[in-house]
Each structure stands twice: as C-alpha cells, then as structure tokens.
Structure 1
Amino acid sequence: MTLPKVLPASPVSAPARKPLRLGQGRLPERVPVAVIDIGSNSVRQVIYEGQTRAPAVLFNEKILCGLGEGLHQSGRLNEIAVERALRALRRFRQLQHQTQVGDVHILATAAAREAENGPQFIQRVEELSGYHVEVLTGKMEAHYASLGIYAGFHKPSGIVGDLGGGSLELVNVNMDRDSGMTLPLGGLRLREMAGESLQKAAEIARRALSKSPVVWGNSARTFYAVGGTWRSVGRLHISNHDYPLATVHEYTIDADELARFCDKVASRELSEIRGIDAVSKNRRALLPYGAVVMRQVIDIYQPERIAVSSLGVREGFLYSRLSKKETGRDSLLTAARDLSILRARTPDHCLELADWTEMAFEKLGIAESEDERRHRIAACYLADIGWRAHPDFRARQALEVIANAGFVGISHEGRAYLAIASFHRYQGLAAKVGEPGVSVLASPETRRKARLLAAFFRVLYLLSASTAGILPHIGFTVSGDGKGEFTLPGDLRDLIGERPEERVRQLSVESGIELSLRITG
C-alpha cells in the first residue's frame, strides 16, 4: 500500500473566520481546546467544549495508523503509518480552525519516544501543526493516566493500568507522580514479541508483571483499566452479558469473572463470541492480547474488581492544567448542572429543588450516604430535561438521555438512581407502570429512595410549574404521629387542587406517612 506524501503546511495562513454563532446546545463562555494523542496504535484528536472540570466532547476522531507496527524488530516507526498519521494531522488542523479552537496540545507516547526515527517524525509534526509536541516519558504517561482517573471517578482508590499499543503504564492513583512504571506490554508490541502466539504473549506478560510488583498500600483493591483495547474488552463483556447499560465508563467487573472472560476471549475465534459486533473491527485484532495481559494482571496483582475507564492520558493532561478550585468541583454535579442550563425550563428552579428535597429528606429521617446525596442533587438538576418531548415519550427519552449520558464520577448504580427518578417523575408510580430495565443495577434501598424523590418531583412540579421562586415559600413538616404537611402561604392558596392532592396521596404511599396540603395565613 502506497500513500501520497503529505505536503508541508501552507505558508499562507488560513483565512480569518467570523466568530461562530453558537446553537442553544453550547455554553457560550467556553473556548474549545484540542488534545491530540499520537500513540503507538492510533492518532486521535479530541476537541472539548472548554477546559473545565467536566468537559463535553465537541468532536472526536481517531485513525488507527499503527505507528508502532514492526517497531520491536526494526527499531523504526512504520513509514506508511507515518504518512497516514501526518495526513490525519493535516485534517485535524483544519478541524481546529473550523471549530475555532483556542488551545492545541499534542502528546506523543511510546512509539514516538522509542523509535530511531522518532525525532524526525516529531519535527515533521511540529512543522505541520505549528505546535510543540510533548513527548511523554513512561512515568509522565502513568502520571497523566492517574490524573485521568481522578478526572473521571469520585474519590478513586487503587491501581491504574493504561494499556496502549506500545506499553503498559502502572501507577497507584493515591501515590506521588514518580511512583509509576512502564512495561513493554502494549498490544502491538506484545503481538510482535510473541510472534502472534497468544500462549507466548501470556508468558511474556507474566514474566514482566512478576518482576514489577505494584504497591497497593491502603488503597482499595480496584484496578482501573485505561486504554482502547481494555475498553473494548469491557464493551464486549457488556454485550456478551446483555447488560442493561451500554456505558462502558465505570463498568465494574468482579476480578474472577473477568479472568474467566479473558480466557474465553483468548481461546476462541472472536467471531464465535456472542456480542462481538459491539467491538469495532479495527479493534478486534489486538483484543486477545489485551485479554491476555488483563488475565495476568488479575493473577499476579490480585485486584478484587476491575473498573473500566473512558478517561485516560488526554483527560488527565487537561485535568493537570485546571486550577485547584476547579479540580475541587464535583465532576458529576458540574456536568448535570451544565445539562440543566442547556435543557431545563428554569435552571434556578432545579437548584431550589435540590435544596428543598434535602430539607424534606432530613425531616423524613432519611439518611443519605455521600454518593446518595450527590445522586439526589444531580437528579434534581436533571429533572426537567425532558420537558420538550411529547408527554407520551418524556419518560423514555429522559431515561435514555440520563442513563447513557457522558457523565463521569458516577457508578452504574448511581446512573440507575438518576434514571429511576427521572422515569417515574414523568411516567408515574402506579404498579402498572413497572420499573425501567436499569433498575436491576440498583439495590432495593437505592430504588426506594429514587422512587421517593420522583414522588416529590411529581408534587413540586405541579405546584411550581418549573418556576423559580415558588419552592422557597412551600414548607414541609413531619409530626411525631406519622403525619406530614406541605404548607403554602395564603397568596398561593389557589395552587391547591385535585391533581396536587392526588399526587400527595401517591407520595404518602411512597413515604409511608400520611401527607396533606395546608394553607398557612
């Protein structure tokens, strides 16, 4: 296969473009930022809406160039892959211009730093792009991968493993940035070293990992799996088991179960594995090698669970550039608030809803864990995002958006909480309504709290009509005799009617106490 040579960058600057007129789905104060990751297997550009705690992806494209193909034997980057990468980077540059990107960051990893012709390739990239290329050391890769886990998980604890095409980086997410290590176990390299023998690949991985013990310390025994090949393993497991969510981020699997599944992936024809269509064809060639390495990780490092991450070095790099104040924000609540601003009728009403339900839960004596409180607040922010849909379809639409949204910092049980609350807020709570499929991911207690929150939503939205400034005037009291009241001031007396009274009776069933509406003054 022969590809045309990439032309040098034009000496004539691109024509100036008028400022973009943003659609209502964009937050106007944000300046797009692009991160390009030049890896051993792929070259990817992600353009984010802005550099924030929970950046939304504006544009995402990868080309599986295979720069590291044959590197172990030749010591050089594959020439055809180099030309493909440079052509992709030219396209990426044009996309940056069209989307009016403010900052561009280019990162290069194992193949570019180790190849004999790596410096020449990097020079060509810098000449073409006009930007400096940050060639990451193995320790830097491990560090940014761990920051990617901080960006994507709430209070993570455990070991991070980032499997690329050329190397595997390992680091304890709770230790200092110099504690990471890199091993030559990336999928492309391992396949070449093993002569395409999976048995030999397992032996190579076992030897390398055995000589490189990780330090768990006081961390939870969670292994965070980063990288496209391991994400594909997780996606295949989801599809193979008819799991009710397609979201791969924070998909958490028991280590023994995943070990058995990796054995299956490494020992069978991929076409025979149910659910393989969920994995792109370009990813399948390295899938067995990713499974082999994961199997050895489980055997040697003995994690209790594996959590798949959609975030890695790119997101970790962006996270490293945030202020301390920004990194201290909650990624889930930040993303939920952004979506509320974009989709709710009155975003300030959603803030009031979070405060009001906190008061009500306290008066009902409902204890919440830190995560349950986060989930309730997020559910309040998202409670009105389905209002534009036809009434017959609001429940289903809101359910699908929330269950599969690009939120991070939330477990799959947490997603189920949000989905249950949103579904019943629109669909009702009668027995005939049933439960959404994602309910199986939630404990009975989680389902109970989500349904109760939905019951409150159904009362409060009838009283407020999603208008800010009403809820602060509505009180809620609970007496010691198992009764409670919504209290409204005299100037809101006309809000009481048949439908609110009916909803209050439904809430009585969910809460287990007799509730009523009363006018004060």
Structure 2
Amino acid sequence: MSRTKGRGRFGIVDVGSNSVRLVVYAAAERNPVLVFNEKVMAGLGRSLASTGRLDPKGIARALDALRRFMALRDQIGVETLVVAATAAVRDAEDGPEFLEKAERICGFKIDLLSGVDEARFAAQGVLSGIPEADGLVGDLGGGSLELVPVSGGKAGPGATLPLGPLRLIDLAHGSLAEAEAVVDRALGEQTWAKEHQSKRLYAVGGVWRNLARIHMAQRNYPIHVLHQYVIPAREASEISRVIEKLGPKSLAQIPDVSERRVEALPFGALVLDKLIGALKAKEVVISAYGLREGILFDRLDKKEQAKDPLIAGCHDLAGRLARFPQHGDEFFKWTEPLFADDVLAETPQEARLRHAACILADIGWYVHPDYRAHYAMTQILLAPFSGVDHPGRLFLARVGYHRHEGRGEPELLGNLSGFITEREHERALVIGLALRLAFTLSGATMGMLPRTRFDVTKSGVTLVVPKKYEALIGEIVSKRLSALARALGRKSDIRIGK
C-alpha cells in the first residue's frame, strides 16, 4: 500500500465476514480522529463453511452498503479512500465475482487482503494504539481469528484460523459443543503459540468488546472507555463461560450487549475462553485499534509513525479547545525543577504523562468557572486518546481537576483511590497546583513564564521573577505558590531577580 501524502479526510471501508463498515478520519495522522462511522451487518460469510460461497442475502446487503458508502465519500469529502476485503471474500468460491461487482460500484480496485496481510495490519493497529504491547494479538472477525505476537514495537509471524463466530456457527450447525471441538482442534495445531504463553492477550473485535462492556457493567467501572481496558484472565474466562450458557433471549436482555451481536456472542466467548486456556494468558487487554488503524498507520510517513500517540492526541485536543496550544511545552519545561531527582523524582514514563498534562492544561477555559474542573476532567477521561492506559488516563484527569479546583476530591466519579497509587495522587496534585499558579502568574499569556523559574531546596520552593514582572506578584500569586509549596512539604518564597 502506498503512502498517503494528503492531509484531507481519510476513509476506510472494511468488507468483513460479518459487517461492512465505513470509517472516516479527519486526516491520516498519528492520532486518528474519527469523524464518521457506519456499519452494516451484511453477514457475507454466514453460509461460507457449509456452501463454500458467500451468503446471497449478505451479498445484496454488502453491495447496497457500498453504494451508500461511495455516495457518503463524495458527500463528506473524503480525499483518500481504501476499500479492503478480508476472510469471507478471500475464501469464497464466488469471491472474485463479488469483487468484480463491488469494484464496479467503487470505481477502483479493492484490496483483497491475504491472511498474512490481515494478521499484520491487525497487529500493527494494536501497536499503533498500544506501542508497548507485549504478548499476543487476537483479532476475532466474523470469519477468522488472527493471532500475531507483538513485542518491542514490532509484530512477529502469526496465523489466521477459521474460528470467526459466523464460520463456527455454520460449521457446528449452531451447536456450541460441536464448535468447542473445532476450536480445540484448531488451537491445538498452533504449536508456535506455546512460545507466547503467560503473557497478555490483546483482544480486537466487536464480539470481544461486547464481553468487555458486560464486565465493566458488573464492576460498575467508572471509565466507559474500552481501549486498554484490562480484564484479569480468570475473570475473562468466567464471564465467557456464563455467556456461553445463556440463550438468545437472555443475552438480548443484557443492556450492554448489541442486538446484532447476540447470535455471535456465545461463540466468540467460547473462542476467548479456549484461547486464554491455550495461552495461559495472564490478562486480556481490549484494543479499540485493529485492522483499520493498522491500514491507516501503514499509510503514514516514517516521521508521522514515529510520533508518540498520546502526545499527538493531546496536541490535537488542545488545538481544538485551548487558547494557546503551544503553552504545553512552556509549562512542561517550567515545572521540571519540581520533579528533579531530589524533589519528586520521576521516571521517563511519568515525565511523559506530565508533558501530556501540561499540553491539556487549558482545555477548560471556555466553560463557566463553576464547571471547569469537572469539564476538564471529563474531557480527558473520554477523549479518544491512545497510548495511555486507564490509570494514566485517570492521572491526567485528576491533574485537569486540580488545575482548576486546587485541592479537594472530585465527586464526579466517586472514590478513585483503588485505581491510581498514592504517589500518583500526589504527583497529580502538584502538577495541577503548579499549572494553576502558572496561569495566574502569566495572565494566561505566552512568553512570560520562561523568564521565571523555581529554585527548590529541601525546605523551600522559591519563585524567581525578573524585576520587570515584579508588579505581577500579588496576593493570589503568593497564595497559589504557598499551596504548591505545601503540597511538596516545603515553605514558599518569592525572589525578585534582575
């Protein structure tokens, strides 16, 4: 696939075994921002296992969907559009015939992905959203399961197995007992997977996301963000076995289950349970990034690919909501003395989160003052960031709260003490109070802060301000400096420099 040079809207149509989906991103960039998303449950692969051919009704629905998506491409103004077909079209006897009809509708050639390509893009998508991923990617589509090892930012050779829920339903005539034998046999043949046991399983696919939603609801989990949601392997297996035993009527009554997933869910749960057992996986990590994001990432140039996805995402959000998006870099350098080795020493990962927090410092400015703290917190909790786990997201949200509210506990999500450590609570408070001081001191303007600095000793925090800015030192500045110093267990002072 060629590199994408344009900065206009970028679209992907994923012609899968179960669904045909159009996603449109604001641009092909490191932090892909979704602007449109539509899915049609066509069921192309519904009868593939028994007939070797695509489902006739599925063909009609898929072609109708493509006609609409081509019209939407023009309506939305998509600059670059990729259409990719996967397992069902690849494996069906009449796949070439379907492709010919589909390409006449699209007006260009459709990318028919091989099993190797499908696995590679799925793994690349996970790595683009979770760069530190170390374990095995499992991407469950309607017709196939892709398994790919990932480590050190790279994907290894994997495998494509015919274990998608639609194919299993057809192969096993709707019987979970028969499907279990099929899954056991297919996984037992993957001797290479033993090399990746006792690691994390990165789960991709709509059926598995539905399982995660059910688990969230059971735990009354406060962050309804699926990306990088972690489920202990034992709990994932337990919930999978419960789902396997429920009939369609019972499944349809579960609020967090999509009606369109009811038929496939028990079979997807069976595959997950068996895969966890075969891998002796320690955790299941949900990835909202998969094949489509992998295709997009492959289109980026090397410079864009090398960017940190979290920092890129924070810059994007600040660019939309902050007065001076460039403020973040000033704040990051200005707060460095507070996190020196002999003060609040930080790891490279902690410094990265501080950088992200500084970029997001002003996203609540336009909201009524009484609501800024909770607005900033909510924006950060729900923003479409990647490259950050849930504890990191909560940490950033707490910084956003303290930056506007000072000390205190946010009531929005209740007690969060079990989600981040006491050290992280302390760091979030210090960063938030420092940013609160920064905006007061500078009048929320650019260029002034770099001319001031902190001198931090074992007993005190001194703010050094040039003589030309002496008049900016007032009661509120002194008060907020004092609050910052107290959070560090020190006394505050102000010194006027040259």
TM-score clears 0.5? yes
2:304 is equivalent to residue 326 of structure 1 = yes
Which position in structure 2 is the counterpart of 1:20? Answer: none
1: CA distance, partners of 2:304 / 2:95:
36
RMSD: 2.1
Letter matched to residue 354 of structure 2: R
Alignment of 1:80-159 (within 5 A): 80-159=57-136
Judging changes above 3 Å, is the alpha-carbon distance between structure 1 residues 431 and 87 closer, same or farther for their aligned structure 2 residues?
Answer: closer
Letter matched to residue 471 of structure 1: L
Letter matched to residue 246 of structure 2: R
Alignment of 1:447-458 (within 5 A): 447-458=425-436
The structure 1 residue matched to 2:24, chosen from 47, 56, 66, is 47
2:427 alignment partner, SS class: helix
Alignment of 1:92-491 (within 5 A): 92-174=69-151, 179-215=157-193, 217=195, 221-269=199-247, 276-362=254-340, 365-430=343-408, 437-438=415-416, 440-480=418-458, 482-491=459-468
Structure 1, 219-228 or 311-320: larger mean CA deviation: 219-228
Which position in structure 2 is the counterpart of 1:13? Answer: none
Judging changes above 3 Å, is the alpha-carbon distance between structure 1 residues 273 and 65 closer, same or farther for their aligned structure 2 residues?
Answer: closer
On the 8 A contact 2:139/2:145 being kept in 1, the answer is yes
Judging changes above 3 Å, is the alpha-carbon distance between structure 1 residues 319 and 365 closer, same or farther for their aligned structure 2 residues?
Answer: same
Q: Deviations over 1:345-386 (max 9, x none)?
A: 111222201121223312753222232222111111111111
Q: Deviations over 1:318-367 (max 9, x none)?
A: 11122222211100100101111111111122220112122331275322
Judging changes above 3 Å, is the alpha-carbon distance between structure 1 residues 128 and 199 closer, same or farther for their aligned structure 2 residues?
Answer: same
2: CA distance, partners of 1:233 / 1:44:
21
* Count of residue pairs brought into register by the alignment: 492
Judging changes above 3 Å, is the alpha-carbon distance between structure 1 residues 369 and 279 closer, same or farther for their aligned structure 2 residues?
Answer: farther
2: CA distance, partners of 1:475 / 1:230:
50
2: CA distance, partners of 1:337 / 1:237:
32
Note the C-alpha offset of 1:273.
7.2
2: CA distance, partners of 1:414 / 1:337:
17
1:68 alignment partner, SS class: coil
Structure 1, 37-46 or 200-209: larger mean CA deviation: 200-209
2: CA distance, partners of 1:114 / 1:454:
55
2: CA distance, partners of 1:272 / 1:255:
24
On the 8 A contact 1:398/1:422 being kept in 2, the answer is yes
2: CA distance, partners of 1:33 / 1:493:
51
Judging changes above 3 Å, is the alpha-carbon distance between structure 1 residues 274 and 493 closer, same or farther for their aligned structure 2 residues?
Answer: farther
1: CA distance, partners of 2:320 / 2:162:
45
Q: Deviations over 1:232-275 (max 9, x none)?
A: 11122112211011000000111112111111111234765799
2:151 alignment partner, SS class: coil
On the 8 A contact 1:169/1:183 being kept in 2, the answer is yes
Q: Deviations over 1:199-241 (max 9, x none)?
A: 3222221221111134465898111101111111112211221
Letter matched to residue 488 of structure 2: S
Letter matched to residue 171 of structure 2: M
Identity in percent: 38
On the 8 A contact 2:334/2:449 being kept in 1, the answer is yes
Structure 1, 166-175 or 124-133: larger mean CA deviation: 166-175
On the 8 A contact 1:244/1:437 being kept in 2, the answer is no
Q: Deviations over 1:392-448 (max 9, x none)?
A: 111111111110111001000000111110011112204697985555321111111
Question: What are the ranges of 5 or more consecutive residues in structure 2 without an aligned counterpart?
Answer: 1-5
2: CA distance, partners of 1:191 / 1:375:
45
The structure 2 residue matched to 1:494, chosen from 459, 466, 471, is 471
Note the C-alpha offset of 1:311.
0.7
Question: What are the ranges of 5 or more consecutive residues in structure 1 without an aligned counterpart?
Answer: 1-28
Which position in structure 2 is the counterpart of 1:4? Answer: none
2: CA distance, partners of 1:433 / 1:315:
35
1:235 alignment partner, SS class: helix
Note the C-alpha offset of 1:169.
0.7
Q: Deviations over 1:137-174 (max 9, x none)?
A: 11111111110011110322111111000010111123
2:255 alignment partner, SS class: helix
Alignment of 1:64-83 (within 5 A): 64-83=41-60
On the 8 A contact 1:427/1:433 being kept in 2, the answer is no
1: CA distance, partners of 2:346 / 2:196:
25
2: CA distance, partners of 1:388 / 1:280:
36
Judging changes above 3 Å, is the alpha-carbon distance between structure 1 residues 177 and 354 closer, same or farther for their aligned structure 2 residues?
Answer: closer
Note the C-alpha offset of 1:389.
0.7
2:13 alignment partner, SS class: strand
1: CA distance, partners of 2:226 / 2:378:
15
On the 8 A contact 1:35/1:105 being kept in 2, the answer is yes
Structure 1, 251-260 or 39-48: larger mean CA deviation: 251-260
Which position in structure 2 is the counterpart of 1:32? Answer: 9
Q: Deviations over 1:68-123 (max 9, x none)?
A: 11111111111111111111111111111122211111110110011111111111
2:418 alignment partner, SS class: helix
1:277 alignment partner, SS class: coil
